[in-house]
Chain A
């Protein structure tokens, strides 16, 4: 089944403790992207990747890192999480920017 998977789905952590949210797709898609969704602020793009080893900033990249070493994986790294990074995070992938994006199920992160 074609899908985008994210792990973990739920995470509660403390300020400053490094964490990684994994994202994997099995559709051989070139484009992958991370978004955060916050009440009142909607969906905002954090980082995106056009292909392996090609990444670029979205609208809200501060406090996040990404890497794209393999086509199928696009992990989101929070080196020193802070409470303002408490949010619902979505990973998405597509064949390219002319195609629809497939979204993962979301990761709800709480930083205390």
Chain B
């Protein structure tokens, strides 16, 4: 069974600081997604990481994937209040097998950025 674990689950940051959210998963996969959810809203796709070593950046967020370590990171640079949200990683289970549509989410990291 694929397990996806994020840490930290709660993150309180000051504006201007840097931090990293970690996403570990338990079985082989080469496809990982990051999503953002604002309170009371739906999910918004941030990044799709498709191979080992993939790195993507958008604004103050940068995501990377290390399939050998089964680890993805979401790095926040110089945080601003607008980044306050819940961030989820999600991993495709069995990306080469017959269950390549199955997706397992991490628990989510609630990020709060303070002035």
Which A residues are within 8 Å of any B CB, using their own CB?
31, 33, 35, 42-45, 48-50, 56, 58-59, 90, 92, 97-106
Chain A residue contacts of B33, Cβ below 8 A: 100-101
Q: Which of A58, A59, A90 contacts B43 (CB 8 A)?
A: A90
How many A-B residue contacts, CB cutoff 8 Å? 57
Can you list the 5 inter-chain pairs with the closest CB atoms, starting with the nearest? A100-B45, A43-B105, A48-B101, A103-B43, A103-B42
Check B48 against A42 for contact (C-beta < 8 Å).
no
Is B25 at the interface (CB under 8 A from chain A)?
no
Check B44 against A98 for contact (C-beta < 8 Å).
no
**Minimal beta-carbon separation of A85 from chain B (angstroms):** 19
The answer for the CA separation of A99 and B48 in the assembled complex, in Å, is: 7
Given known contacts A42-B88, A56-B99, A98 and B48 CB-to-CB distance under 8 angstroms: yes
**Minimal beta-carbon separation of B113 from chain A (angstroms):** 22
**Minimal beta-carbon separation of A21 from chain B (angstroms):** 14
The answer for the CA separation of A92 and B42 in the assembled complex, in Å, is: 10
**Minimal beta-carbon separation of A58 from chain B (angstroms):** 6
Is B17 at the interface (CB under 8 A from chain A)?
no
The answer for the CA separation of A90 and B101 in the assembled complex, in Å, is: 16
The answer for the CA separation of A90 and B88 in the assembled complex, in Å, is: 14
The answer for the CA separation of A46 and B18 in the assembled complex, in Å, is: 36
Chain B residue contacts of A97, Cβ below 8 A: 31, 92, 95, 100-101
The answer for the CA separation of A107 and B45 in the assembled complex, in Å, is: 19
Q: Which of B99, B102, B106 contacts A42 (CB 8 A)?
A: B106
The answer for the CA separation of A46 and B16 in the assembled complex, in Å, is: 39
The answer for the CA separation of A102 and B43 in the assembled complex, in Å, is: 8
List 18 additional contacts besides A33-B103, A100-B48, A105-B42; criterion CB under 8 Å: A42-B108, A43-B43, A43-B105, A45-B103, A45-B104, A48-B102, A49-B101, A50-B101, A56-B99, A56-B101, A59-B104, A97-B100, A97-B101, A98-B48, A101-B45, A103-B42, A103-B45, A106-B42
